[in-house]
Amino acid sequence: MALLPQQPNNMGNFVPTTIIYDSQRIQEMDVNSKDFKELLKRLYQSINILSLAINAREVGLYPMEELVIGNLYYNADTTQISNLRPVFRTTVNTGDLIGADNPKPHGITFGVTWQPVHIYGVACNTTTKEYWPMPNSDITVKVTATDIVITNFSGVLFDKSSIVIEYTKT
């Protein structure tokens, strides 16, 4: 279901860029007229469309703290779109990955109803300029209640790494 009326489901969330109001005509309007009431209604609708689009965007920030990112995730208890759950993002600096097992605390206090929806990251050897996506066939990533456990079978010694955890809370 599209979030905006008359919008195909596969189009994303686009805001029209050519909403034009004639300022001269507005200044001449009688504030008690039907035209003025119609203008207010259209302005309200335009603001509502902008609000929906802004609230539905994905945030492109990756701070090392919890952030609501604008994504909405399904709710297994219902099929109603009004019950979609917000997605939160936390980025964790996991540092060096020098051995096979590398548990790193993530600092997130997960409640009973939390559910991870996306876990991903990158590992880097700054000397050789090698950058590896995580997880992959040589590096596994697991999130526990307290840690991110990265298992490195690549044979590469990484001196920098980070993991992004996206999750719902309810």
Give the mean model confidence (pLDDT) for residues 131-151.
95
Which has more pLDDT, 78 or 6? Answer: 78
Give the mean model confidence (pLDDT) for residues 100-118.
89
Which amino acid, one-letter code, is at 118?
A: H
All structural domains of the chain with their residue ranges:
1-57, 67-168
Are the CB atoms for 59 and 70 separated by under 8 Å? yes
Rounded distance between C-alpha atoms, residue 131 and residue 155, angstroms: 13
Dihedral pair phi/psi, residue 95, rounded to 5°: 65, -145
User: For the segment 40-89, what is each residue's pLDDT rounded down to a tens digit?
Assistant: 898 888 888 888 777 777 788 888 999 999 888 988 887 777 788 899 99
Q: What is the CA radius of gyration of the chain?
A: 23
The label of the residue with tokens 């689009």 reads 53
67-168: CATH number: 2.60.40
